Structure 1
Amino acid sequence: MAIGLSTYAYFWRHSDRVPVPMGLDAMLEQTAELGGQVFQICDYPKIEKLSAESLEKLRQRAESLGVVLELGTRGLKADHLGLYLNLAKSLDAKILRSMFNSPDSRPTIAQAQQQLAQILPDFERSEVALCIETYEQVPTASNLEVVKHFNSPWLGICLDPANCVAALEAPKEVITLTAPYVLNLHVKDFAFSRRDGWVGFTFAGCPLGEGLLDYDAMIAEVNPQSRGINQIIEHWLPWQEDADATCAMEDAWTRHNLDFLLSRNS
């Protein structure tokens, strides 16, 4: 089991909303500097345009830093997953996280099964695990139906209980349902806060240990340490008053959350 960061822990700092966005090398370097053991390059389309030489340099740099690489994308189309499988192999990444839907595809369960049937054997031969993430656009039961259909050790769930709240799925129930099938774990805390005038709520992220995520209960159920499941930190940090304040808070959350996980899993 490894603990580390995702590009989602650098969501604003690598975005076009800041004067000098961080690149992959800088994010990778800081992950290692802060004690992270894994870095998940997730929903980062620029990775698709890197040359074979650049991918190899990234792989070598991660290896020299002692950081394991993982990948993340969206969608289940066989050709797209095939592209990311090749990227994963170039980076020696053994985990690829994906989601049911992509900008140009919203498959039914039957269509998802058809798409995966075409590409899953390639993942199995390559010994790369494909992890379908829990989130509000697709019922957890649908994710599980697809995973159970194949009954493959190389197809499982990327568990993020926070994502499912918007679909009125209780985090505790999502954890219990998916626990036996989890192969990758996204960790972020979350909370509701009243809007101005007490009219409605904002549902957003918060530092680990300060919100509604029962981290200890989740870990007890999923048991990542004995099962070799990596824990990947993400944030739901709302934009602050300006880029400097947002980047400073994102950095503070990243450091706090990594320290939180490392202390709980030492």
Structure 2
Amino acid sequence: MNQPDKSLAGSRLDRRSFLQKASLGAMALSFPTMPEFLKDKPMGIVVHSYGSRWNSKTPSSNYPAFTNAIDLIEHCHQIGAGGAQVVVGNWTADFARKVRERREKLGLYLEGSIGVPKNAGDVSRFEQDVLNAKEAGATILRTVCSSGRRYESYHSAEAFQTLKKNALASLQLAEPVLKKHKVRLAVENHKDWRAPELAAMLKQLNSEWIGVTLDFGNSISLLEDPMDVVQTLVPYVFSTHVKDMGLEEYPDGFLLSEVPLGQGMLDLPKIVALCKQHNPAVTFNLEMITRDPLEIPCLKPEYWATFENLPGTELAKTLRLVRQHKFPTPLPRVSQLSPEGRLAAEEQNILACLAYSKNQLALK
């Protein structure tokens, strides 16, 4: 594993201070002066917030489809967002330059969403994606290391251990590329890692170029208290997925939904303040996914297949959390809406979240 520069390695900075300074130094490459990049910027939008509109097949004059990153950037500017986090894959160098030109003209930031190399033969693909993202102006790349939700995709302790082994290998392959091009990779807690597992992997990697995309609500699905997750992962935070969560009981466990900011059970002002405290250059990206509630079947035996030593007290704490913070109405559902209705609900939710972020979180 590549070691940090000697000047940094020789200092007595702890991990938290080291990451903060590394983050600030990297961000300084992209912004003209220190005071400018430390100013609050409006919240950005994660492409997954537009799950219905991205490459939509619904003909709509009110909500035309977004077919590429430039479409998304244009719309983010129109609604007052500060930037976008969008998938970077199979871009040409020419398209990356066009993204940069439009982004710079509109004054928005960009983050990429990228796949880590699966093996040594995939490193060249990864490096090309990194180069295209950097050309477009991204210095932070969000990634995930799993193929899906832990309790749906992995059905034994052995399967999950294989995932952990492969994830570590992929990040070790990615790290020299990131260091070479001075781009940071932020691993999301994506309903896969419990927070201590992700933190342990980052400690093992020990790289200033690999940190966290801190999702505010995902880990409830893994029976974790959201504030415990924040406290564990915030020392590594490069980027965020901002969301608020609604909870509701169902026979096999509980239902989990993204809801408009301020309507759910998360202490968003406290979480945002902690992120800023640990990394003043952190970006805040809205991931408001408008969909039916997710079922978290934590009372079914198969849910527990990958949790070898998780005590039952974690289940009890989570079910108590669900009951204490039960959403005041049935959780929102959209499957009954027409395609145009789903597009409308999606946009309404995003606009409501942007308004909350400016009025209540001072992200403006």
TM-score normalized by the length of structure 1: 0.87
Comparing 150-159 with 115-124, greater Cα deviation is found at 115-124
Aligned partner of 2:272 in structure 1 is: 219
Which among 214, 225, 228 is matched to residue 173 of structure 1? 228
C-alpha deviation, 1:157, in angstroms: 0.8
C-alpha deviation, 1:6, in angstroms: 1.3
Aligned partner of 2:78 in structure 1 is: 33
Equivalent residue of 1:174, what SS?
A: helix
Task: Say whether 1:5 aligns with 2:50.
Answer: no
Q: Give the percent of matched residue pairs that are identical in Structure 1 and Structure 2.
A: 24
Aligned partner of 2:283 in structure 1 is: 230
In structure 2, C-alpha distance between the alignment counterparts of 1:207 and 1:119, rounded to whole Å: 35
In structure 2, C-alpha distance between the alignment counterparts of 1:215 and 1:189, rounded to whole Å: 8
Letter aligned with residue 189 of structure 2: T
Structural mapping, 1:67-78, within 5 Å: 67-75=108-116, 77=118
Task: Say whether 1:130 aligns with 2:226.
Answer: no
Equivalent residue of 1:144, what SS?
A: helix
Aligned partner of 2:219 in structure 1 is: 164
Instruction: List per-residue Cα deviations over 1:210-240 (Å, max 9, x = no partner).
Output: 0012101212322269620000001121134
Equivalent residue of 1:227, what SS?
A: coil
CA change 1:94–1:224 in 2 (3 A) is farther
Task: Say whether 1:139 aligns with 2:225.
Answer: no
In structure 2, C-alpha distance between the alignment counterparts of 1:112 and 1:8, rounded to whole Å: 22
Comparing 66-75 with 158-167, greater Cα deviation is found at 66-75
CA change 1:158–1:253 in 2 (3 A) is same
Aligned partner of 2:353 in structure 1 is: 257
Equivalent residue of 1:186, what SS?
A: strand
Equivalent residue of 2:102, what SS?
A: helix
Structure 1 portions without partners, runs of 5+: none
C-alpha deviation, 1:159, in angstroms: 0.4
Task: Say whether 1:244 aligns with 2:340.
Answer: yes
Equivalent residue of 2:170, what SS?
A: helix
Equivalent residue of 2:217, what SS?
A: helix
CA RMSD of aligned residues (A): 2.6
Which among 55, 67, 74 is matched to residue 23 of structure 1? 67
Larger radius of gyration: 2
Which among 105, 127, 139 is matched to residue 94 of structure 1? 139
Instruction: List per-residue Cα deviations over 1:181-221 (Å, max 9, x = no partner).
Output: 111011011102356xx886432111100001210121232
Letter aligned with residue 127 of structure 1: K
Q: How many residue pairs align between the two structures? A: 260
C-alpha deviation, 1:17, in angstroms: 5.3
In structure 2, C-alpha distance between the alignment counterparts of 1:158 and 1:170, rounded to whole Å: 17
C-alpha deviation, 1:12, in angstroms: 0.7
Comparing 217-226 with 81-90, greater Cα deviation is found at 217-226
Aligned partner of 1:57 in structure 2 is: 98
C-alpha deviation, 1:15, in angstroms: 4.1
TM-score normalized by the length of structure 2: 0.65
Structure 2 portions without partners, runs of 5+: 1-39, 154-158, 292-333
Equivalent residue of 2:350, what SS?
A: helix
In structure 2, C-alpha distance between the alignment counterparts of 1:185 and 1:168, rounded to whole Å: 20
C-alpha deviation, 1:69, in angstroms: 1.1
In structure 2, C-alpha distance between the alignment counterparts of 1:99 and 1:171, rounded to whole Å: 19
Letter aligned with residue 50 of structure 2: Y
Instruction: List per-residue Cα deviations over 1:124-147 (Å, max 9, x = no partner).
Output: 221211000012222222211121
Letter aligned with residue 97 of structure 2: E
Instruction: List per-residue Cα deviations over 1:35-59 (Å, max 9, x = no partner).
Output: 22211104xxxx4233322221122
Equivalent residue of 1:49, what SS?
A: coil
CA change 1:61–1:27 in 2 (3 A) is same
CA change 1:119–1:150 in 2 (3 A) is same
Task: Say whether 1:116 aligns with 2:171.
Answer: yes
